[in-house]
Amino acid sequence: MRAVVLLTVALAACAQAQVQAPEVRRAPEDSVVPGTIGVTVRQEGASVVVSGARVGSAVWVGDVVLRYNGEAIVSPRQFYRLVVDSPPGSRARVEVRRDGSARTLEVPVRELDTMPHA
C-alpha cells in the first residue's frame, strides 16, 4: 500500500511540474535566410559535377550542372553562391547533362540550417 501512495504522489508531482520545450532559435526577422537544394558538387575538368544528393532528389550524383535558374555554371563556388541566394520556399530550375542528354529539372529550395547546435 505504501508503494501505491508513493507512486501516486510522484505522478501528481510530475503532472504539476511545468515541462518546457527547448528554446527554438530563429533567425532575426531582418536577416537573410540561405537556401539549399540538397546537393554537393565538385569541379571535374571544365565541368561542375554533382558528388552528393539528398535522397529522392531530382538531381542525381554524376549529373553535370550546366545552368542554375538560367545562369551558366562555371565553378562550384559560383553554383553554391546562386543556391544560397535562392529564397527558401521557391523552386529552382537546374539544367543538367545526364547520360549524354540535357534535362531541365525543377527542385524545391529549402532553408539551409545555419543555426548553432548545442
DSSP string covering 13-26: HHHHSPPPPPPPP-
Reported as a pLDDT band with limits 50, 70 and 90, residue 96 is very high
Mean pLDDT, to the nearest integer, of 36-63? 97
Residue 4: predicted pLDDT: 44
**Is 0.85 surpassed by the pTM of this model?**
no
Greater confidence (113 vs 60) lies with 60
Whether CATH 2.30.42.10 fits 35-111: yes
Query: Which position has the grid cell 553554383?
Result: 79
Averaged pLDDT for residues 97-105: 97
Q: What angle do CA 38, 41, 45 make, to 5 degrees?
A: 165
How many whole angstroms from its chain centre is CA 53? Answer: 11
The pLDDT-based confidence of 74 (bands split at 50, 70, 90) is: very high
